[in-house]
Structure 1
Amino acid sequence: MVMAATGVGVGDLVAALVAGTLYGNVFVWAIVMGALLKYILNEGIGRWYLATGQTILQGWHSLGKWATGYFGIYLVILGFAFGAAVTSATALATTTMFPALPLWSWAVIHSLAGFLLVWSGHYRLFEQVMIVLVGVMFVTEVGSAAILFPNLAELSLGLVPRLPDGSLFYALGLIGGIGATVTLAAYGYWLREKGWKGSSWIPMMRLDLTVAYTMTGLFTLSLLVVGMELLFGTGIILEGDKGMVELTRIVGKELGEAVRWLFLIGFWSASFTSLWGRGTGSPTSSPTLSAF
């Protein structure tokens, strides 16, 4: 549940939404491939930790300082860029719901909330809150797709790999974005917090990742369905986090104000779980500091 919540951010949902809006069911295969690829990568990371007791960052450190130095530079740049983007996205959702406070105020509030939750160092609390927010995301995102009654036979045609002209970067964005990147490095820390050690835990770890990436793929596919059913062929193109706000307006118009609010809550949940989850690695130990 923690993997699914952390790995699905607003950027991934927007990418799926835009792909469904522009190309209909064409990129179902890319979502499936992205979830499968991240499962394979993370299964290797999980086996490494269970076999050695070391996280993937500690493993890279054993190769020499150049390895963690390279990743450290990447992580610092990503941290600033992602930190700004995810707090803005989270604030955008709450500003839309509660416009009494400006966007910058909500961004500061969410940044401080994320910091305090991570600083508290209680993995059990972290896990429980993430499970609740995954439930919210499931009800809102998957529920929205189900309300639109997609044609499953037509949707299944998207399992056949195709690349329409000019669509390569949309496909790569979906394949690479699903499940995130820092989330992979964080997995070993979450296994450590759970107390999973030794090869006897490999079957449980594989089941854990199967559930995680099944849900990740389902969340992403749901937004593709929403884009396909509501916007495909209309000429409306939604881009960036603000596109999600515009989508909530369209959802409200088509499905009612109650569904619009549910969708906004799902938008907020997807943003805040990414902010919190990717900021942890381990709530009691920063993955970057541990590696160095």
Structure 2
Amino acid sequence: MKNPLRNIGPGPLVAAAFIGPGTVTVCTLASANFGFSLLWAMALSITATVILQEISGRIGIVTGKDLSTLIRGQKGKPLVRLAAMTLVLVAIVLGNAAYESGNISGANLGLGFYWEAPSIQVGSFQIQLGNFVLGALAFLLLWSGNYRVLERVLVALVILMSFAFVGTALMTQPDWTQLLRGFVPSWREKEIPTLVALIGTTVVPYNLFLYASLVQKQWKSESELPLMRRDIALSVILGGLVSMAILIVGAANTSEEISSAMDVSKGLESVFGRFAGYLMGFGLLAAGMTSAMTAPLAAALVVCGMMGWDTEIRSNAMRWSMGLIVGLGLVFSSLGIKPVQLITLAQLANGVLLPLISAWIIWIAAQSSVLGKYKNSPLATAVAILIWLITLVLGIKSVGTVLGWF
């Protein structure tokens, strides 16, 4: 208690991972279209994320293994294990490489509020200098292999991002009565796609792998499980409050047409001046940079765990795996390539992966042979199964959207 910061674990990295440009945009559009009515969906997604991330963290500490290693070591039919490993690798690597492009581009959009980076024509390609600089910065921080420095940078960005978005939300002076009514669940057909998107931007499959791996660097004993639980609960709740703040800001927008979070900042300028735009710009820049560093880290941990390689951040396997993800995102964003097909495949793979991984970790958490006395109680398992049903709906919706069913 004398030094609470010393007990901060990798929880803020989970928050940093799910608050990216995609989350900013989805929350912005949700409130611009439906006001505060979907705040209850954010509260639900925060609860689901805390429950699933706590299970992954508990598995990591008690077993001393990350989820990728456990999947690779599962006994049973070799073909089933190989299929599971292939699915996870494709979903995580393909998805994170595609979304890395969006993370870098989103960060550059926020940077554009302060400095409009020029474009450089190289042959038939047009390189976006801002994307290139931000992507290179993320790459260098990851390549340095200094986990503590990386962790501190991400924690600082999360804190500053929180101040930026929460400060902007308070400046809008929302109607608190209407805001509180938004926490009362409602079910309108026209809101369902946005509702699914809101939950989907918070409950992220690769964060389960990320946290199970990183908790082992912070805590070594089962006696430290309460510290892990406090770490992930506070971090995810903080991230959820930031998402809610973004949603509140979007409701105060005066722009006639909104396609991104920066359109909201322009709509706020008529009321609060340029300062609100600066806050939103910094928030989007921080959101993009945090996700641009956590997505490659998570993907590299999955790759190295699945292949049985060294998962130490300074190992060559980790550095080259992280470099591959950042490099692909950098190429797509810097050259202005829009990897629509890649993102579509990633959406399909993640839509399948989320309910499968959720079901698997819930099953693991109920096994005495794996977690012993730290297994889930029947009540905890029942609550987790309810959460799994939500991930199943998300998965079906994602797959259905890609295949044109919805």
Give the TM-score, by structure 2 length.
Answer: 0.66
Q: Identify which of structures 1 and 2 has the higher relative contact order when contacts are C-alpha pairs closer than 8 Å and 6+ apart.
A: 1
SS at match of 1:280: helix
Cα pair 2:168 2:249 within 8 Å, conserved: yes
User: Of the candidates 266, 270, 277, which is equivalent to residue 253 of structure 1?
Assistant: 270
> Aligned to 2:293, which of 267, 272, 276?
276
Residue deviations 1:144-180 (CA, integer Å, cap 9, x gap): 1111122222211111211223211100111121153
Pick aligned residue for 1:14 from 10, 18, 25 = 25
Q: Is the 8 A contact 1:91 1:104 kept in 2?
A: no
Q: Structure 1 residue aligned with 2:235, among 212, 222, 233?
A: 212
CA distance change for structure 1 residues 119 and 100 in 2, over 3 Å: closer, same or farther? closer
Q: Is the 8 A contact 2:89 2:302 kept in 1?
A: no
Check whether the contact 2:61–2:220 (CA below 8 A) recurs between aligned residues: yes
How far 1:11 moved relative to its partner?
0.8
| Mapped partners of 2:261, 2:229: distance in 1 | 33
**Deviation digits for residues 195-248 of structure 1 (CA, Å, limit 9, x no counterpart):** x123111111110111111111101101111111224xx7x3423xxx122222
Q: Which residue of 2 aligns with 1:74?
A: 91
Residue 100 of structure 1, CA deviation: 4.2
Question: Does structure 1 conserve the Cα–Cα contact (< 8 Å) formed by 2:168 and 2:276?
Answer: yes
- Structure showing greater Rg: 2
Residue 258 of structure 2 corresponds to residue 238 of structure 1: yes
Runs (5+) with no aligned partner, structure 2: 1-11, 75-80, 120-126, 308-406
CA distance in 1, matches of 2:211, 2:298: 7
CA distance in 2, matches of 1:89, 1:41: 27
Letter paired with 2:305: S
Single out whichever of 157-166 and 43-52 deviates more from structure 2.
157-166
Q: Following TM superposition, by how much is the alpha carbon of 1:107 offset from its aligned partner in structure 2, in angstroms?
A: 1.1
Retained in 2: the 8 A contact 1:7–1:274? yes
Question: Contact 1:6–1:273 (CA<8 Å) still a contact in 2?
Answer: yes
1:151-166, aligned counterparts within 5 Å?
A: 151-166=175-190
Q: Comparing 75-84 with 38-47, which one deviates more in the overlay?
A: 75-84
Q: In the superposition, relative to structure 1, how do residues 186 and 34 fare at CA in structure 2: closer, same or farther (>3 Å)?
A: same
Give deviations 1:103-130, integer Å, cap 9, x for gaps: 7111111221111111111111011111
CA contact (8 A) 2:16 2:294 kept: yes
Amino acid of the residue matched to residue 69 of structure 2? Q
Distance in 1, matches of 2:89 and 2:274, equals 45
Q: Which residue of 2 aligns with 1:23?
A: 34
Cα contact 1:4–1:215 (8 A) shared by 2:
yes
CA distance in 2, matches of 1:8, 1:177: 8
Task: Look up the SS of the partner of 1:230 in the other structure.
Answer: coil
* Cα separation, partners in 2 of 1:213 and 1:31, compared to 1, 3 Å: same
How far, CA to CA, are the matches of 2:230 and 2:164 in structure 1?
Answer: 25
Deviation at 1:56, TM superposition (A): 1.2
Counterpart CA distance in 2 for 1:33 and 1:133 is 25
Q: Give me the whole-angstrom Cα distance separating, in 2, the residues matched to 1:179 and 1:218.
A: 15
Structure 1 residue runs without a partner (length 5+): none
For residue 222 of structure 1, give the secondary structure of its aligned residue in structure 2: helix
Partners in 1 of 2:144 and 2:198 — Cα distance? 34
List aligned pairs for 1:93-108, cutoff 5 A.
Answer: 93-102=110-119, 104-108=128-132
Distance (Å, rounded) in 2 between the aligned partners of 1:38 and 1:237 = 32
- Where do 4+ consecutive residues of structure 1 move more than 3 Å? none
User: Does residue 126 of the first structure (1) align with residue 137 of the second (2)?
Assistant: no
